[in-house]
Every structure is written in structure tokens, then in C-alpha cells.
Amino acid sequence: MTRPSLLSVALASFNGERYIAEQLESIAQQHRLPDELVISDDASTDSTTDIVLKFARHAPFPVQFLQNSERLGSTRNFQTAICACNGDIIFLCDQDDVWYPNKIELIEAGFIDNPNAGAVFTNADVIGENLNPSELRLWEAFKFNSKEQAQINGGDALEVLFKHPVVTGATMAFRSIYRDLILPLPEMWHDAWIALLIGATSCLVALPTPLIAYRQHSSNQLGIPRRGRNRGKTCAEIYGPQVLHYELTRVRLLTHGKHFPVATQKLEKIEELLIFLRNRAALPQSPWQRLPIALNELAAFRYHRYAFGTVSFWKDLLR
């Protein structure tokens, strides 16, 4: 008989006194409790430590509290928490959200129903700083539509992830066997990094049910996409970091191919995506000078395969 999976929660904290008590309580109220909670604190200077230690004394599960002697930054702090987890499945957790009581239960069911899945992620309700509700859901903000959801659940995650990142770490859990593949985390976009690597070597499950209240406030590391976020940026500033992201992804997949095989076809698509992004990053300042390069990418259908077709073409031309 197969033993039940052990479930770990990896929480990264830093000066979280305003919100972390609500998050901790929401984890303690889960229908399916985690088998452990690992909290890595990034040298907080407020009352975060006191709040965590008080919670740990009465928590209905073991709490491992790690304290950095000096600041590591959010990415390396999360990495510390992930490394310390002992479970078969690791749930990523932000200090400022609130989990709904059925979150762990439904995500665990997603893994049970899809034994080949490397990661499961969900929708979320977007809320304000003081838990005031809004009409917005996370996938709506990402323009992650039903067709793309079906693509991911049909085993074609890369086709969606190449066009735009739709996986938020706060809604995601992954099998710990992929820890060696995803670590160390790059400094930028670690949510997208984890989803992309697991999507390339395994498959993802997208659950449309909102399972957390995703808090938006002035200190959010990333938050939801905002209109005009690229206004005033050059093509090099927008697409250059994406080139680096996919170059690092390609190298990681190649160097770990023995233990985490990836289909040649998927690697070829990453190579083609890199051609597309490098050409976009190199677009000249003058729209007229951009036109031949952009038209060539349009004719090669790369705007359709790796972006949003003519909409993206015109944005690049008129940026």
C-alpha cells in the first residue's frame, strides 16, 4: 500500500508583522494540515520573530523556524526554506496572503488524481491591503483564459508559459524530487522559473478554484501585472531580461538532462524562442528601422507561437 505523501509548507518571511499572523492562522485552519511548516526569516527587525515563535508553541504541526543572521534577499530566503523541507510535496507560501481552508486538501487531491504531475497551481482572489475584497481574480489579471488552462491540463504547458507567465508561486506546490532541478533559484522571476522547468520535464495541473486571498499592497515583490508597466522602456530593457531567463533555463535543462530528461522538441522550441526574444531585444529605436526585423518574425510565425500574434507585433513596432 502506498503511504500518504508528506506535505511541507515553505514560508519566507521578512518584517511581516502586519500580515503574517493571519497567514499562519489560515494554515492552522486547513482541513488537511501540513506535516510541517518551514519558515525562513530574512533577519527581520520588527516583531515577526515573536509572532512566529508564539504561533509555533501551539501549532497543530511541527514548525521549523530558521533565522538568517544577515539579509539574503527574498529569492535566497525562499531557497533556504525550500532546502529545509522534508516533505514529498512542497507548498510555497508568502507571508502576506491568506489561505482558504480547503487549499492543501484540494491541491493534494490534484497530485493524487494526476500522479505524473510535477506541480499544481491554482487561481486566487485578489484582495486589498486590509483584506477588502475585489471583483478581480488572479487568472483574469494574467489573461489566463480557458483555452490556455485546457492546454496546460492537456500536457502542453510550455506553449502557454512561453507566451506569458501564468503561475504564481503563492498558489503553487511541487514534488520535492524536482528540487535539484530548480535550485539554485535565479534572482528574477523564480515563480516562472519553477513552472517552466517542471513544465519542460513533467506536466502541470491548473486548478481554477481560487484557494488563497492574494493580498496587494505597496510592498509586494511582484503582484499582478499593471497596465503601462513597460511604458518608457526600450525593447532591450523589456526583452533583455527574458533572454537571460531562457538562456539560464536552457543551460539548467541541459546540465540536468540525465536525471530530468526533456524532449528534444521542447529544447528546440526554447532555442527558437531565444531567437525571437534576441531579435525583439535588438529592435532599433526607429519604428521604420524596426519594421523589416519585426516583419521577418511575423512571417516566421514566431509572433504567433511565442507572443500574441499581430497585437504583439504592433506593440513592438509602435513602442
Query: What pLDDT score was predicted for residue 295?
Result: 96
CATH 3.90.550.10 residue ranges in the chain? Answer: 7-215
Angle at 193 between CA 9 and CA 167, to 5 degrees: 65
Q: What is the CA radius of gyration of the chain?
A: 20
| 6 pLDDT tier (thresholds 50, 70, 90) | very high
Spatial contact of 94 and 168, defined as CB atoms under 8 Å apart: no
How many CB atoms within 10 Å of residue 82? Answer: 23
| 229 pLDDT tier (thresholds 50, 70, 90) | low
Q: Quick one: what percent of the chain has pLDDT higher than 70? A: 95
Query: What pLDDT score was predicted for residue 3?
Result: 72
pLDDT at 71 over 70: yes
pLDDT at 258 over 70: yes
Spatial contact of 161 and 195, defined as CB atoms under 8 Å apart: yes
Mean pLDDT of the chain: 93
pLDDT tens digits along 100-119: 999 999 999 999 999 999 99
Spatial contact of 252 and 183, defined as CB atoms under 8 Å apart: no
Q: What is the pTM of this model?
A: 0.94
> Which CATH number is 7-215's, of 1.10.3470.10, 3.90.550.10, 3.30.200.20, 3.40.710.10?
3.90.550.10
pLDDT tens digits along 25-36: 999 999 999 999
Mean pLDDT for 185-190 is 86
